[in-house]
Amino acid sequence: MSTDSGCVSLVEELLLKQYGPFLDSAAICKVLYYPTRGALAAAKARGQLPFTPIKLGGRPGIFALTSEIAEIAERLASESRSQAKESGVTSTM
């Protein structure tokens, strides 16, 4: 996720370094904890993906922008920390 100042978040920087500007279905599953590629495809078929899938030059499969997946991962982590604070659980994130 790029901030207003043009800085890239640590999560996005790490994902860009590991995967490049696009993530394929295997990488999306790993980062967003989908159990299988089939589960990811089923979520797409139901219209329940938390990101906008993109097409890459006619290649089959599900792809996403790394920046969008980083933003989602950061949001999920933040929500998880907030829920842990509300329930009185401490986190080591």
Two tokens, residue 18: 């590991």
Q: Which alpha helices (H) appear in the chain, and where do they start and end? A: 10-19, 25-32, 37-45, 66-87
In the chain, % of residues over pLDDT 90? 71
pLDDT tens column, 53-63? 999 999 999 99
Give the pTM. Answer: 0.80
Q: What is the DSSP code string of 33-48?
A: T-S-HHHHHHHHHTT-
| Dist CA 90 CA 38 (whole Å) | 34
Per-residue pLDDT of 23-50, as tens digits, reads 999 999 999 999 999 999 999 999 999 9
- Considering the chain, what is the average pLDDT of its residues? 89
* Separation between Cα atoms, residue 36 and residue 16, nearest integer Å: 22
